[in-house]
Amino acid sequence: MSRADRLDATARYFCRVRGEVSVPWLEADAATILDAYPVRVPDSRSGQSNYSGLFWSATIDAHLVYESLLELDRLWLADFDPDITTITSQPLWIEGMVSGKVRRHAPDFLLKSTQRGHVLVDVKPAKAAARPEIREVFDWTGALCARKGWAYEVWTGADVFLLRNVRFLGSARRAELISQSAVVALLDRFTPGTTINALIKETARTHDEEQVRSALLHLMWKQLLSTDLRRPLSGETVLDVGVGANYVEH
């Protein structure tokens, strides 16, 4: 079978307006898929091996389904990334004939990135992702994405401290619950190289300390203020200007 035959696939997804859509792979519309319903919704039952559920995304202001705690970790990082503008989970089925057999695969996420374009993501533990039959599916999916001009990512996990810190900062991601006057005051008083404790102490001279703490976590979530999140956070953590500042309209 030729390489072209291997890449002759069909995309199937659930459009909110037209219902189920089945089109040749190259005709699949990314914008429609990003707004589509999940092609499958994981159930939750006693004794199941994976923990599935719903994740509220600040990026899209809506819930997304996940099938495992590893998928949940990837959602946290996508939601934290200011480069990601749209996220959808269980976005589509990809179907095709490979070596005389029907192959059918549902990737875990489709992301829209200001830098990378559209990114299709498969999430799998490293040991499982290395299995030949799984690797074959991922290689096929990656080749299809390359043909379409999409990026493709097989994600197997991240630094444990990074994930813990992102989840902690996520407690302050809802902007409507944050004091905007405390946010402005923190930014006015911030200088690169200051510590968390020093910035809170200075800002709390004129604002409620609890509001200041929440506002500081929010600024770190938005990555307007940054630090090395691969290390434990403390009051002595040193802050710098974050990459999120590049995404603020001036």
Tens of pLDDT, residues 7-23: 789 999 999 988 999 99
Tens of pLDDT, residues 182-195: 999 999 999 999 99
pLDDT of residue 4: 46
CATH architecture, range 3-155: 3-Layer(aba) Sandwich (3.40)
pLDDT category at 98 given cuts 50, 70, 90 is confident
Cα 126 to the center of its chain, rounded Å: 18
What gap in Å lies between CA 175 and CA 26, rounded to an integer?
A: 38
pLDDT of residue 248: 58
pLDDT of residue 250: 42
Q: Please state the pTM of the whole predicted model.
A: 0.92
Position 21, amino acid: V
pLDDT category at 65 given cuts 50, 70, 90 is very high
Q: Please say if the pLDDT value at position 143 is more than 90.
A: yes
Domain boundaries, the chain: 3-155, 160-247
| Pair of tokens at residue 172 | 């302050």
What gap in Å lies between CA 9 and CA 63, rounded to an integer?
A: 29
Q: Please say if the pLDDT value at position 138 is more than 60.
A: yes
Cα 37 to the center of its chain, rounded Å: 17
pLDDT of residue 99: 73
pLDDT of residue 165: 98
pLDDT of residue 49: 63
| Pair of tokens at residue 226 | 């940054």
